[in-house]
């Protein structure tokens, strides 16, 4: 389904500053100055990953590369070469220069080739995205997702004199270069902060973060090691296998800490039941905790699956989640993700893809969450153990055998507090960076709007007045470009 409203009408009704034009400029339909070639529906039976000619699909617009090849017959006119301008006709209606080896133009992508010197290619690259965005916004409002080559050809492009186009393009290239550099630097910060958080976890779980605290805390005032207390209590009830030396290879921790298995630290390790799927109810009073609710260090409650199990179902008590429980994804794409339940929950139950770990001692849960999320510690172990092609798994035996280097509860509290302070600092930086990214994008849009209003560089009309010469608008150029029948 294509646009039913004339493109010129959409542009004239729009208040988007990127669609503005200085009064001294003319407008001309894109189809009058450029040839628009639609892509071809190449048979998918000839698609290949290794042989043949690269195939430029809609997902490749703006990437400069393609992972698909076509190993069949084709017409050379559908070849796209380095520097050609291509437009995606579905989705976001993106446009970009193709930078790569010769590729075939697939369906739902078109190639725009300027046919005359009426338009500077660099100016076209700057102007066209705003008009495509306006068409996209209109299609979204009428549930239309397809851009036709006819609509593309009807876009009334602003037509300053050619010399003015080039001045605008050159000035924008200079400004956009600076703003683009700022964007790149801002875009790198989230990755840096992610590494920072992992460095904090590594220092916390290896004892480096609290080394000064141990030095300042005399041995005689330190409580009995946590694991010793747990093992004494557990010996009265059930004998649990201690962690094996091989399970702790690569773990770095102070001599004051003790090594234990997750099994020793937990009073319950379980997961949900497949049989509960029949109790799904959108308006159910209970909530089924699924893999998508478990994120590293974050219990994501934005997605909810209601459930209404029978009151006498024996699975209810076993799988019901309590405050300070740990949740670990054990099946699926995000296997190994761990979070802690920070709040009291009513009628929440884990599904079969999520393991519930209930610590045996109050207060140990916050440290365990940090340890299991550290890529130098618990997460490293999980990544080594995950098995299954296409559908990763962690087994209960693996969870139980996970080696944990455990400090005293007092030191755990110090660790958790310091990690929280450093994470809060990273969060604050992240918010500022997010604000900076928004401001940079707004500045880019403001610079473009100023350019298209004719305010970024002197217009030809203004220069003519300054120099005392007659102004020659783009009309003569327009008369040469547009066929006589199109002007009548």
Helical ranges in 273-408 per DSSP H: 315-319, 365-373, 378-385, 396-401
Alpha-carbon distance 195 to 191, whole Å?
6
Q: Which two tokens mark 440?
A: 């940079």
Q: What is the pLDDT along the chain (488 residues), one digit of tens a residue?
A: 456 678 888 888 888 889 989 888 989 999 999 999 999 999 999 999 889 999 999 999 998 889 899 999 999 999 999 999 999 998 889 999 999 899 999 999 999 999 877 789 999 999 999 999 988 887 765 555 688 899 999 999 999 988 899 999 999 999 999 998 998 999 999 999 999 999 999 999 999 999 999 988 876 555 556 766 666 655 544 445 566 655 666 788 898 898 888 998 998 999 987 777 777 888 888 888 999 999 999 999 998 888 887 777 777 888 899 999 999 999 988 999 999 999 998 889 998 999 999 998 889 999 999 999 999 999 998 988 888 777 888 999 889 989 999 998 999 999 999 999 999 999 999 999 999 999 999 999 999 999 999 899 888 778 878 877 766 666 565 555 555 434 44
Residue of 363, 356, 342, 357 whose CA lies nearest to 407: 363
Q: How many other C-beta atoms can be found within 10 angstroms of the C-beta atom of residue 61?
A: 22
Residue of 131, 128, 106 whose CA lies nearest to 39: 106
Radius of gyration for the alpha carbons in the chain, expressed in angstroms and rounded: 32
* pTM: predicted TM-score of the whole model, two decimal places: 0.75
Domains of the chain: 7-160 (3.90.220.20), 253-407 (3.90.220.20)
Alpha-carbon distance 133 to 242, whole Å?
62
Residue of 58, 126, 64, 128 whose CA lies nearest to 92: 58
What is residue 76's DSSP assignment?
G
Q: How far is CA 138 from CA 27, 58, 130, 142, 171, in A?
A: 21, 20, 13, 7, 31
CA angle 135, 138, 139 (to 5 degrees): 85
Beta bridge partners of 271: 355
DSSP secondary structure string for all residues of 2-31: ---S-HHHHHHH---GGG---TT-EEEEHH
> 3-state DSSP call for residue 93?
coil
Helical ranges in 24-85 per DSSP H: 30-33
């Amino acid at each position: 389904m294509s646009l039913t409203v004339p493109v010129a009408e959409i542009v004239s009704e729009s208040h988007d500053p990127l669609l503005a034009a200085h009064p001294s400029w003319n407008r001309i339909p894109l189809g009058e100055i450029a040839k628009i070639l639609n892509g071809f529906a190449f048979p998918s039976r000839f698609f290949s990953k290794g042989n043949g000619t690269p195939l430029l699909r809609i997902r490749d617009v703006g990437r400069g590369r393609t992972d698909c090849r076509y190993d069949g017959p084709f017409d050379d006119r559908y070849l796209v070469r380095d520097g050609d301008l291509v437009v995606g006709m579905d989705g976001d209606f993106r446009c970009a220069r193709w930078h790569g080896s010769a590729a075939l133009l697939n369906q739902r992508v078109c190639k725009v080739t300027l046919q005359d010197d009426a338009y500077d290619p660099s100016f076209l690259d700057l102007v066209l995205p705003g008009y495509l965005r306006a068409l996209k916004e209109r299609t979204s409002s009428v549930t239309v997702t397809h851009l036709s080559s006819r609509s593309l050809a009807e876009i009334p492009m602003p037509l300053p004199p050619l010399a003015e186009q080039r001045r605008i393009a050159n000035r924008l290239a200079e400004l956009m270069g600076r703003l683009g550099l700022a964007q790149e630097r801002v875009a790198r910060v989230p990755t840096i902060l992610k590494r920072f958080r992992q460095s904090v976890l590594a220092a916390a779980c290896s004892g480096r973060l609290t080394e000064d605290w141990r030095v300042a805390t005399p041995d005689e005032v330190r409580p009995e090691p946590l694991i010793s207390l747990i093992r004494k209590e557990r010996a009265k009830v059930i004998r649990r296998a201690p962690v094996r030396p091989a399970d702790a290879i690569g773990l770095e921790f102070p001599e004051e800490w003790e090594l234990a298995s997750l099994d020793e630290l937990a009073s319950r390790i379980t997961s949900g039941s497949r049989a509960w799927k029949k109790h799904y109810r959108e308006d159910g009073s209970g909530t089924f905790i699924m893999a998508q609710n478990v994120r590293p260090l974050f219990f994501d409650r934005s997605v909810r699956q209601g459930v209404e199990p029978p009151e006498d179902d024996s699975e209810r008590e076993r799988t019901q989640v309590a405050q300070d429980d740990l949740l670990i994804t054990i099946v699926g794409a995000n296997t190994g993700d761990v979070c802690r339940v920070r709040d009291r929950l009513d009628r929440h139950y884990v599904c079969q893809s999520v393991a519930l770990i209930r610590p045996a001692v109050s207060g140990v849960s916050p440290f365990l969450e940090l340890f299991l999320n550290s890529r130098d510690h618990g997460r490293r172990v999980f990544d080594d153990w995950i098995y299954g092609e296409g559908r990763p798994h962690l087994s209960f035996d693996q969870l139980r055998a996970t080696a944990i280097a455990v400090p005293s509860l007092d030191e755990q509290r110090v660790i958790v507090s310091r990690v929280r302070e450093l994470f809060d600092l990273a969060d604050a930086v992240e918010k500022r960076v997010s604000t900076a990214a928004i401001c940079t994008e707004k500045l880019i849009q403001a610079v473009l709007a100023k350019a298209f209003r004719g305010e970024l560089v002197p217009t030809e009309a203004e220069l003519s007045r300054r120099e005392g010469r007659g102004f020659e608008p783009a009309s003569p150029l327009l008369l040469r470009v547009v066929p006589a029948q199109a002007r009548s």
